[in-house]
């Protein structure tokens, strides 16, 4: 019996660290990793038949074929493995039709395709205000004039969206995952505790990590800081990158209208051409913006913290009851 463990994010919750520093060193890792060949990256391949990366529906046939590829890889590389792990933060994303489409994917896998072992899930959370700030500065290299005022307007605008607020309700994740795979098969971790041995110990025990020392990693992690996070709830703004902005814009358009499996060579040439032309337009516009006007950081002001907590407070109270602990000291 082999368990299939999904680490699904959330976004801006140390997914890259888990992938590059923890999971990729374990036998039975199916992806994602920066240097992993696409044919070996079963986590990325899962997107081809599920509602992520522009796709809106689930292909049951494609999902079955994906499971067959997983079994073939296991037989070839880890025939005695008792658990397999895949990590892809895009699996926690929303589609046009569902706030949490991965729940349906997990349900189909559990009930139809992965019945000889358990389907289990790792979910890492982070208080909503910090996630908003981290997301903003990550995208600041695509913004013309990022800064505190724009950040506060963006937070206000997002929190006026009913759907966006629903996506900040972490208690719905805990409830939904528990209903689909069973509460005992869900591991919820809080990123605010990532500098403690308990955080990494819980992860290691749940995923049966055999090459990982939780205490040693916690000690190393205590000396690290997010490259954009600074003391006092402050976050560094990146320099404008017109090429990256062009790449993001083109990818969004092409992922929606031109699936990667259709004429991939022609698609790649069209993509590169579109990126180059859009980048040239962006560079002309950027040349007209005085660099001195570009701010260098934002902070989580009292206004932002109060606004986020007012909207997310009821969700976090429910989450605290689900986890059986007080989350307010951690910013929830």
DSSP collapsed to 3 states, 224-269: CCCCCEECCCEEECCCCCHHHHHHHHHHHHHHHHCCCCCCHHHHHH
Q: Which DSSP helix (H) or strand (E) runs through 209?
A: none
Cα separation, 1 vs 114, in Å, equals 10
Cα separation, 242 vs 240, in Å, equals 6
What pLDDT score does 231 carry? 67
Residue in the structure block whose two tokens are 């025990």: 205
What pLDDT score does 223 carry? 52
What pLDDT score does 224 carry? 53
- 8 A C-beta contact, residue 30 and residue 73: yes
What pLDDT score does 204 carry? 94
State the CATH architecture for 3-127+169-231+312-330. Answer: 3-Layer(aba) Sandwich (3.40)
Give the angle subtended at the CA of 249 by the CAs of 244 and 254, to the nearest 5°. 120
- 8 A C-beta contact, residue 203 and residue 189: yes
- 8 A C-beta contact, residue 181 and residue 105: no
Q: Which two tokens stand for residue 97?
A: 């039709």
- How long a stretch of residues is the chain? 332
What pLDDT score does 171 carry? 98
In eight-state DSSP terms, residue 275 is H
Per-residue model confidence as pLDDT tens for the chain (332 residues): 899 999 999 999 999 999 999 999 999 999 898 888 888 899 999 998 999 977 889 999 999 999 999 999 999 999 999 999 999 999 999 998 899 999 999 999 999 999 989 999 999 999 999 999 999 999 999 998 899 999 999 999 999 999 999 999 999 999 999 999 999 999 999 999 998 999 999 999 999 999 888 887 877 665 555 556 766 789 999 888 999 999 988 988 887 788 777 888 999 999 999 999 999 999 998 888 776 678 899 999 999 999 999 999 999 999 999 999 999 999 99
Torsion sign (Cα): 1, 187, 65, 104: positive
Q: What are phi and psi of 186, to 5 degrees?
A: -120, 125
Pairing of strands 234-236, 229-230: antiparallel
10 Å Cβ neighbour count for 120? 23
Q: Which residues contact 38 (CB under 8 A, 6 or more apart)?
A: 44, 45
What pLDDT score does 228 carry? 61
Provide the residue ranges of all domains of the chain, joining segments of one domain with +.
3-127+169-231+312-330, 242-288
Cα separation, 196 vs 90, in Å, equals 26
What pLDDT score does 199 carry? 95
What pLDDT score does 227 carry? 57
């Amino acid at each position: 019996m082999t368990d299939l463990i999904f680490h699904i994010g959330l976004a801006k919750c140390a997914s890259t660290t888990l992938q590059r520093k923890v999971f990729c060193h374990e036998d039975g890792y199916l992806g994602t990793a920066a240097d992993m060949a696409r044919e070996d990256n079963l986590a990325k391949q899962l997107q081809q038949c599920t509602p992520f990366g522009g796709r809106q529906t689930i292909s049951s046939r494609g999902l079955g074929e994906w499971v067959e590829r997983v079994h073939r890889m296991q037989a070839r590389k880890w025939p005695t493995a008792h658990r397999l792990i895949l990590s892809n933060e895009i699996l926690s994303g929303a589609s046009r039709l569902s706030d949490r489409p991965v729940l349906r994917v997990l349900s189909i896998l559990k009930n139809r395709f992965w019945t000889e072992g358990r389907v289990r899930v790792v979910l890492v959370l982070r208080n909503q205000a910090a996630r908003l700030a981290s997301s903003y500065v990550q995208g600041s290299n695509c913004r013309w004039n990022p800064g505190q005022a724009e950040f506060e307007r963006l937070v206000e605008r997002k929190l006026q969206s009913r759907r966006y607020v629903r996506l900040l309700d972490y208690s719905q994740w805990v409830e939904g995952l528990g209903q689909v795979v069973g509460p005992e098969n869900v591991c919820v971790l809080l990123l605010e505790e990532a500098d403690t041995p308990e955080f990494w110990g819980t992860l290691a025990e749940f995923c049966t990590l055999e090459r990982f020392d939780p205490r040693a990693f916690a000690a190393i992690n205590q000396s690290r800081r997010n490259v954009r996070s600074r003391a006092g709830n402050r976050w560094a703004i990146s320099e404008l990158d017109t090429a990256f902005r062009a790449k993001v814009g083109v990818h969004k358009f092409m992922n929606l209208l031109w699936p990667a499996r259709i004429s991939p060579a022609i698609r790649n040439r069209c993509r590169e051409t579109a990126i180059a032309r859009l980048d040239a337009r962006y560079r002309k516009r950027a040349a007209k913006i005085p660099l001195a006007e570009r701010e260098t950081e934002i902070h989580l002001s009292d206004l932002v913290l109060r606004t986020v907590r007012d909207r997310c407070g009821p969700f976090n109270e429910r989450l605290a009851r689900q986890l059986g602990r007080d989350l307010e000291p951690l910013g929830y």
